Amino acid sequence: MALQNSSMKRLFSTAFQVRFYSAPAERSIPAAKQKYVPTSGTYPKGFLAGSSHAGVKPSNTKCDDVALVVSEEPCPAAGVFTRNAFKAAPVTFCQKLLHSNDEKVRGVVANAGCANAVTGPIGRQHAVDMARATDECFDKTAEGRTLVMSTGVIGQKLPIDRIKEAVPKAHAALGSTHQHWMNAARAICTTDTFPKLMSRKFTLPSHPDVEYSIAGMTKGAGMIHPNMGTLLGIICTDVKIESKSMHRYLSAAANRSFNSISIDGDTSTNDTVAFLANGAAAPSDAAPLTLSSQGQYGDPDSKAFMHVLTDFMTDLAQLVVRDGEGATKFVTIRVKSARSAYTARRAASSIATSPLVKTALYGKDANWGRILCAIGYAPGIIRNPGLGLRAEGPPEEKKSNGPPKTHAQVSMQSTSVSFVPSDGSEELKLLTLGEPAEVDEVRAKEVLEMEDVEIVVKLDDDPSQNSRHMHEAVYWTCDFSHEYVTINGDYRT
């Protein structure tokens, strides 16, 4: 009878495509997610945001799906992009623009509903057309001032005429209020259940009386795994930054934020995070912030801003994980290794992308064996001659004129695993130095009932050598629910 009931439930869910965690109709925000949506904000001087409706997807008859975020004056910009080999037309357009253009950028135009990816020459022309339509709103003679982003279904062509008509409307709707920024953040949503928008005030050591602001919006709920920025993001600040330092700041902050999140292990063709700094709040005599190619700061202000940017981008990236498609849990994975940061990162990434770990978390099952298994097969840790995989050490240990050195990076006898509850109560030990712990299953279920869960893995948990320096890697991910399959089973249609 239980089997029959289970089968009937699955049949009912499939037939009616019941959605418990996906975006509701009319983009209403689920009650559980409303706490992540700001009701006000402080936005950087000299930046404007706006949106309009183009109907990129035929099913979208009234929600805005074209967004503009622009600086009132052209400003330095930088971007980090997907490493997927099949890059979408907007990605290659932006990379070329930022690489070859000595002029400053005016802003970003983005559309939701169609990724303009794998669309051939016509797709590349459509990216150009979107940028040109935006440029002409500011200056009929100027080109090469606008970055382009697209998100949605791969392999379909943009309704470019409708988008070109919508761009001037978005320009006419530009403004500096919280609502203007919120409208733009909503316009880039696809399967997102809530718009992801943040703003923050800060000061710098040399002139603490001057108040600066940083603001950012991002979108993403699926096809997300670190290999750059794993989604679309736009970050703006009114600090003055040296042009050639822009990418250094963005890249360093992205590695510790957007590159440390994963929802499903899939790296999109369209990932782009753009960073703009117009200096509008800086005193006229303030020197631009600098960061050398060796990671050296020009002054205390430059170092202070790095902390501000990294913390801000980390919080923004975590919003993406909290909105993972079908997700019910926000999971922090913290791995410590005495061998290297690379070993810790490889293990953390593998745990974060394991479907079996993620489904166990959804089912509130403290199945630590899946965590250990994911570590053991992690690329760079596993040795598999059949696939040409070696257990590699960090890059600095690789031979310049030969194959990488082979390392035993993990040992069962020195590995420990535990859950750390989000309510501050005592950690739940699952594995200690390779030996299974006596797990209280009732307590384990209580811990996994919480929305926030932390998994701590110590790869070198040797009490006799606690003085050793431990490298740590942190990833943020979510669980896999039935709803993830439902959402992605009919995403295109």
Question: Where do the structural domains in the chain lie, given as residue ranges?
Answer: 37-322, 330-489
- Specify the length of the chain in residues: 493
Known active-site residue 230 = yes
Report the CATH superfamily, name and number, of domain 37-322. Answer: L-amino peptidase D-ALA esterase/amidase (3.60.70.12)
pLDDT of residue 389: 46
Q: Note whether 212 and 44 are within 8 A (CB).
A: yes
CA distances from 435 to 290, 298, 373, 414, 417 (A): 50, 50, 14, 9, 10
Residue 276: strand pairing partners: 77, 236
Long-range Cβ contacts of 215-218 (<8 Å, 24+ apart) = 215/41, 215/42, 215/43, 215/44, 215/47, 215/181, 216/312, 216/313, 216/316, 217/69, 217/181, 217/184, 217/185, 217/188, 218/273, 218/316, 218/317, 218/319, 218/320
Helix and strand numbers, DSSP H then E, in the chain: 12, 15
Q: Note whether 118 and 269 are within 8 A (CB).
A: yes
CA of residue 310 relative to chain centroid, distance: 13
How many CA atoms within 13 Å lie on the side-chain side of 72?
Answer: 11
Q: Note whether 111 and 134 are within 8 A (CB).
A: no
pLDDT of residue 396: 52
Q: Any residues with CB less than 8 A from the CB of 256 and at least 6 apart, and which?
A: 310, 313, 314
Task: Give the span between the Cα atoms of 41 and 197, in whole angstroms.
Answer: 9
Query: Per residue of the chain (493 residues), what is the pLDDT tens digit?
Result: 444 554 544 444 444 444 444 445 567 888 889 999 999 999 999 999 999 999 999 889 999 999 999 999 999 999 999 888 889 999 999 999 998 766 799 999 999 999 999 999 999 999 999 999 999 999 877 778 999 999 988 899 999 999 999 999 999 999 999 999 999 999 999 888 999 999 999 999 999 999 999 999 998 766 556 554 447 899 999 999 999 999 999 999 998 998 888 877 666 777 789 999 999 999 999 999 999 998 899 899 999 999 999 999 999 999 989 988 888 999 999 999 988 898 999 999 999 999 999 999 999 999 999 999 999 988 888 765 554 445 555 555 554 455 455 456 888 889 999 999 999 999 999 999 999 999 999 999 999 999 999 999 999 887 666 556 889 999 999 998 888 888 777 766 5
Give the residue among 356, 346, 343, 332 at the shortest CA–CA distance from 422.
332
pTM of the model: 0.86
- As a dihedral over the C-alpha atoms of residue 170, residue 172, residue 173, residue 176, rounded to 10 degrees, the angle is 110
Indicate which residue of 193, 230, 332, 477 is catalytic: 230
Task: Give the span between the Cα atoms of 44 and 67, in whole angstroms.
Answer: 18
Task: Give the span between the Cα atoms of 138 and 145, in whole angstroms.
Answer: 10
Q: Note whether 45 and 211 are within 8 A (CB).
A: no
Structurally, at CATH architecture level, domain 330-489 sits in: Roll (3.10)
